[in-house]
Amino acid sequence: MLKELSPKAQKIKDQLTQFMDEHVYKNEAVYEQQLNDAEHRWVVPPIIEELKAKAKAEGLWNLFIDNEEYGPGLTNYEYAHLCEIMGRSLIAPEVFNCNAPDTGNMEVFMKYGTEEQKEKWLKPLLEGEIRSVFSMTEIEAASSDATNIQASITRDGDEYVINGKKWWSSGAMDPRCKVAIVMGKSDPEAETYRQQSMIIVPFDARGVEVKRYLPVFGYDHAPHGHAEVHYNNVRVPASNILLGEGRGFEIAQGRLGPGRIHHCMRAIGAAERALELMIERADGRETFGSRNIDKAVIREQIAESRIEIDSARLLTLSAAHKMDTEGNKAARKEISMTKIAAPRMCLNVIDRAIQLFGGAGVSDDTVLAAHWANARTLRIVDGPDQVHLRDIAKLEIREQLNERTSKEKEPVR
Ligand SMILES: Cc1cc2nc3c(=O)[nH]c(=O)nc-3n(C[C@H](O)[C@H](O)[C@H](O)COP(=O)(O)OP(=O)(O)OC[C@H]3O[C@@H](n4cnc5c(N)ncnc54)[C@H](O)[C@@H]3O)c2cc1C
């Protein structure tokens, strides 16, 4: 099944690897230092804008876009190889303008935006000049089932009025954040999957209130941050509705397919880096009279990690290939399987590496702790594990029973 990369994708991959070696890893500490040196951490570290300018100049920009009008036009399968490399560093996705939630929001604007919306919001996002938020999850609703979402989007003359209490709106703390895509109910009486809409809200609109930031295991993820955001009687022009009233679920489906798989690709890159660190550490340390790298138990962990990483990569690539050849809908089961397997694998591998590093593993002296915290959130975001397991089982059972029914119909020979 493994296809060779096209010469175009291979060239970008080589260039990206070189860029990471020359510019990204060594500036991770600079990024953190600049945030620490600032008056507060919700500022843009200058190094990120320098790296973005370099990456853009080299054409390593908007690599996630499969549409040649806006980006390099790579397939999901090709992008998987690049996204994995970016996942090795927590600062890398933004360097190449490939970070969530901006990627998903750009996809929404590309697919569903009017020319005016594209001009106003998509263009500066594509240029990396502004950042954005996707506000779906609510404090008071179990949001893994999006039919529970209660925020209201009510038509009033030429405007819509938005009210709701959202949280975990990633990127809301970023001083460059200028726009939110908000999901809410425009018609509570409509059929379940036609009740919700998505609407564009300029982030400086009156009534948008960023209440507090939410740390992840103590990490602030500055300067983007995740925040509780209240929308209090926010008024926007009626033309800000995306695609039309009642089309929220349709947009959510279109937005989440590729985004889910991007997280998985990055998780594979994070795991690869953890395994490299693990081997380097084991090679450099001795306990109880022998080198750690020579101990059977540690070799076993290295082997287990390699098996798990390669298995998750194959699953991810096969999902990406199916998305390319049969479409996102046909690849639903594979996407869900990947969304379960890759974060689990990543957490296992990083956990082994942390153990081998001892105290250093849980400190900020290595990237391991921050990558672990990030990977742990992946079992919750974009559909918690249990929701994906439910979907996989449903699709598997449907396939098997349909198959059995059609076999039963075959004449007995
Ligand atoms: C770091 C981070 C970033 C995020 N970024 C964003 C963002 O940018 N925009 C945004 O809108 N949201 C964002 N989220 C929110 C995230 O998408 C939600 O947390 C997720 O969808 C789960 O919703 P919930 O928190 O309301 O949990 P709930 O819906 O209350 O679910 C809680 C738990 O219930 C269990 N559960 C749910 N359904 C079932 C089932 N059918 N069977 C068995 N068990 C079940 C699962 O274990 C689940 O984890 C982010 C979250 C985090 C942690």
Closest protein CA for atom 49 of ligand 1: 384
**H or E stretch covering 231:** strand 226-237
Residue 55 has pLDDT above 60, yes or no: yes
Closest protein CA for atom 12 of ligand 1: 137
In a domain, 82, yes or no: yes
Report percent pLDDT > 70 for the chain: 97
Q: How confident is the model at residue 340 (pLDDT cuts 50, 70, 90)?
A: very high
Instruction: Check: CB of residue 204 under 8 Å from CB of residue 178.
Output: yes
Q: Are residues 297 and 400 in the same domain?
A: yes
Report percent pLDDT > 90 for the chain: 92
Per-residue b or e along 162-192, where b marks 16 or more CB atoms closer than 10 Å to that residue's CB: bbbbbbbbbbbbbebbbbbbbbbbbeeeeee
| CATH, residue 291 | 1.20.140.10
Question: What atom in ligand 1 is closest to the CA of residue 166?
Answer: 11
Residue 334 has pLDDT above 80, yes or no: yes
pLDDT 10s digits, 351-366? 999 999 999 999 999 9
Q: Are residues 237 and 298 in the same domain?
A: no
In a domain, 198, yes or no: yes
Q: What is the pLDDT averaged over residues 250-276?
A: 89
Q: How confident is the model at residue 350 (pLDDT cuts 50, 70, 90)?
A: very high
Residue 384 CA, ligand 1 centroid: distance in Å? 6
Q: Are residues 307 and 362 in the same domain?
A: yes
Angle between the N-to-C axes of helices 368-377 and 332-357, in degrees from 0 to 180, rounded to the nearest 10: 150
In a domain, 110, yes or no: no
Residue (of 258, 245, 133) closest to 198 by Cα position: 245
Q: Are residues 266 and 370 in the same domain?
A: yes
Q: What is the pLDDT of residue 3?
A: 86
Residue 341 CA, ligand 1 centroid: distance in Å? 17
CA 137 to chain centre: 15
Q: What is the pLDDT of residue 2?
A: 79
Q: What is the pLDDT averaged over residues 36-57?
A: 97
Residue 6 has pLDDT above 70, yes or no: yes
Please say which residue of 175, 207, 242 terminates a domain.
242
Q: Are residues 96 and 179 in the same domain?
A: no
pLDDT 10s digits, 20-37? 999 999 999 999 999 999
Q: How confident is the model at residue 256 (pLDDT cuts 50, 70, 90)?
A: low
Q: Are residues 207 and 237 in the same domain?
A: yes
Give the integer Cα–Cα distance in Å for 133 and 227: 10
Residue 90 has pLDDT above 80, yes or no: yes
Domain count, the chain: 3
Pocket of ligand 1 (CB under 6 A): 101, 134-137, 142-144, 168-170, 216, 226, 377, 380-381, 384, 386-387, 390
Closest protein CA for atom 43 of ligand 1: 386
Instruction: Check: CB of residue 339 under 8 Å from CB of residue 263.
Output: yes
In a domain, 235, yes or no: yes
Please say which residue of 211, 242, 273 terminates a domain.
242
Q: What is the pLDDT averaged over residues 152-174?
A: 98
Closest protein CA for atom 35 of ligand 1: 386
| CATH, residue 74 | 1.10.540.10
Residue 380 CA, ligand 1 centroid: distance in Å? 5
| CATH, residue 187 | 2.40.110.10
Residue 1 has pLDDT above 70, yes or no: no
Residue 411 has pLDDT above 80, yes or no: no
Mean pLDDT computed over every residue of the chain:
95
Residue 143 CA, ligand 1 centroid: distance in Å? 6
In a domain, 23, yes or no: yes
pLDDT 10s digits, 219-246? 999 999 999 999 999 999 999 999 999 9
**What domain range is 201 assigned to?**
131-242
Please say which residue of 218, 242, 266 terminates a domain.
242
